[in-house]
Amino acid sequence: MDTFYTVLEDAEYRQIWDRIDSELQFQPSIRVNQLPFRLSAPYLILDLAQAAEDQVDKLFSEVPQAFAKCLGAGPWMYALDWQHSGFRYDPRLPVTEHDHWVEDERHGGFLGGRYNAYFSDLYPDGDYYFFVQRDLEWGWLGHPWRREIWLFGTPLIDALSPKLEELGFPVKERI
């Protein structure tokens, strides 16, 4: 992978979303009181609504390094935008842009066979944005309406907990 991302082909895209639906029991909803996930791994919920902008900015600047630490020698993880584009993502490389025009003959009549594959940001600003390890052992699950980040899996929680404590980041729940 020469760049920080590779756009997922349809089969791999469907496969990872099927796994997220079944293994994380993802239940998208506009109801704020409905839990979106049923996680068996340890998790904590970050409250973006109660966090100050500088807390969010400082935390988000640390997240790619935490992802890279958790990946170890692993080649990549997934970056997913619900019902939109999905990517293989290498957090060790800088994100240089979020909009990517992709040439794809499968979309022949639509924009001349091109579409905009948007690489998700860490802040869920209108959709579910997920950054997950390939085997779903850990991840960052962004919920737009609840304004939350669900961190799951011991490696990622351990990697980010010192920064959360240092910043006094509001945590809603820790399981």
* CB proximity list for 27: less than 8 A, separation 6 or greater: 34, 35, 36, 37, 38
Question: C-alpha distances in angstroms, 174 versus 44, 62, 145, 149?
Answer: 4, 20, 20, 12
126 DSSP assignment = S
Q: Say how far apart CA 100 and CA 7 lie, in whole Å.
A: 9
Range of the domain at 83: 5-26+37-174
Q: What are 118-157's pLDDT values in tens digits?
A: 778 899 988 899 999 999 999 999 999 889 999 999 999 9
15-24 own/partner pairs: CB under 8 Å, 24+ apart:
16/78, 16/80, 16/86, 16/132, 17/80, 17/86, 19/136, 20/80, 20/130, 20/132, 20/136, 23/136, 24/136, 24/141, 24/152
What pLDDT does residue 92 have? Answer: 94
pLDDT band at 74 (very low <50, low <70, confident <90, very high): confident
Q: Is pLDDT of 23 > 90? A: yes
> Domain for residue 31, yes or no?
no
In-domain check, residue 32: no
Q: Enter the pTM of the model.
A: 0.89
Task: Count up the domains in the chain and report the number.
Answer: 1
117-126 confidence digits (pLDDT tens): 777 889 998 8
pLDDT confidence bin for 31, thresholds 50/70/90: confident
User: Which residues are CB-neighbours of 38 under 8 A, at least 6 positions away?
Assistant: 24, 25, 27
Q: Return the pLDDT at 104.
A: 59
112: left (phi over 0), alpha (psi -120 to 50) or beta: left
